[in-house]
Structure 1
Amino acid sequence: MKQRYTSVVDVHVVLWRNGLVLLAERANTGFADGWLNLPSGHLEEGESVVDGVIRETHEEIGVTVTATDLRFAHVLHHRGDSGAGRIGFFFEAEQWAGEPRNMEPTKCARLLWADPNALPPNTIPYQAAGIRNCHKRAPFDLHGWS
């Protein structure tokens, strides 16, 4: 009998300003340090994906988004090199309260705005795929399942 599939669920916020997307450079985490990613994180037990992305946005970049500020944009079913899967929910926002700032300087070297059509080469591929799919309004994709 096959085992029931379980997966990590990630939430990502794609903040748009003047056609650019906000990225953060990972540092001192032991995973993908020096690589760029969206403000994001794992869903916590008992938390909805909307509540999770609101929490992560505030924790990581100090801005407040509300459920009405967010627009569901994309779901990406990703499988990493180890074979482990994860499901990422991507939400977009073009308005929020506060100015993005690095709230986790021990885990983040800097924030930067990037062109979604020319993402820096050190953008984490899973998140780069999510950004590209949000930008082209594709609601679903697979990544790493070939």
Structure 2
Amino acid sequence: MSQRTRYKSVVDVLVLLHRTDGRVLLLRRAGDVYASGLLAPPGGHLEDGETVTEGALREVDEEVGVGIAPCDLEFCHLIHHRSPEGEARLGVVFTTQRWFGEPRNREPGKCSGLVWAAPDRPPSDCVPYTAAVLDRFCSGALLSTHGWPTTLAGGSA
């Protein structure tokens, strides 16, 4: 019997700032970053020693300069994604309708602009991972997969 290797994954934390008109904030990635030119919500990698909530709050502050009370951050989706290169990631997605401050581009070297988009009709130039998250967010699903050869949890492959 062969020994199995313990599974390891990068954890992404994403925040959907959700306005009262139903639109969510997306950032146009720019520069020497993954998916430059495409749209994605504020977010990034979880850092060692922080909870997913702490990471989400840190990322949204770093990228768009808004503050969110931890009690206003709501878990809305978990996506198990596999990139075209085969890298597996877990994306923990939060939403909020309340924040302090006006969203602005705080990382001009990584972002060229902000776009408010209808999540049920995402722009065609979204990162595929983002489009999958928005689709599942709109359907109310809490769990999905994306980029795997077959779907394991009801998401798009």
| TM-score bin, normalised by smaller chain | over 0.9
Q: Which residue of 2 aligns with 1:137?
A: 140
1:33 paired to 2:36? yes
Query: Gapped runs of 5+ residues in structure 1?
Result: none
Residue 6 of structure 2 is aligned to residue 13 of structure 1: no
**Partner of 1:64 in structure 2?**
67
Greater relative contact order (CA < 8 Å, ≥ 6 in sequence):
1
d(CA) in 1 for partners of 2:110 and 2:45?
Answer: 15
Shift of 1:48: 0.2
Q: Aligned letter for 1:93? A: T
Counterpart pick for 1:103 among 97, 103, 106: 106
Could you say which structure has the higher strand fraction? Answer: 1
TM-score, normalised on structure 1?
0.97
The 1-side partners of 2:33 and 2:14 are apart by 20
User: The residue matched to 2:81 in structure 1 has which SS?
Assistant: strand
Q: Which residue of 2 aligns with 1:75?
A: 78
Deviation at 1:3, TM superposition (A): 1.0
For residues 79-90 of structure 1, the aligned pairs below 5 Å read 79-90=82-93
From 116, 120, 130, the equivalent of 1:117 is: 120
CA–CA distance in structure 1, aligned partners of residues 105 and 92 of structure 2: 22
In structure 2, which of residues 57, 78, 97 is the aligned counterpart of residue 54 of structure 1?
57
Q: Which amino acid aligns with 1:42?
A: H
**Which letter does structure 2 place at the counterpart of 1:60?**
E
Cα distance between partner residues in 2 of 1:140 and 1:76: 6
| AA of the residue aligned to 1:9 | V
Gapped regions of structure 2 (runs ≥ 5) = 150-157
**3-state DSSP of counterpart to 2:50:** coil
1:24 touches 1:39 (CA, 8 Å); kept in 2? yes
TM-fit CA distance, 1:6: 0.3
Structure (1 or 2) with the larger CA radius of gyration:
2
Q: Distance in 2 between matches of 1:134 and 1:103?
A: 26
> Residue 95 of structure 1: CA displacement?
0.6
Compute the displacement of 1:29 (Å).
2.3
4+ residue stretches of structure 1 with deviation over 6 A?
A: none
Seq. identity, %: 47
**TM-score with structure 2 setting the length:** 0.90
Q: Does 1:128 align with 2:131?
A: yes
* Cα contact 2:25–2:115 (8 A) shared by 1: yes
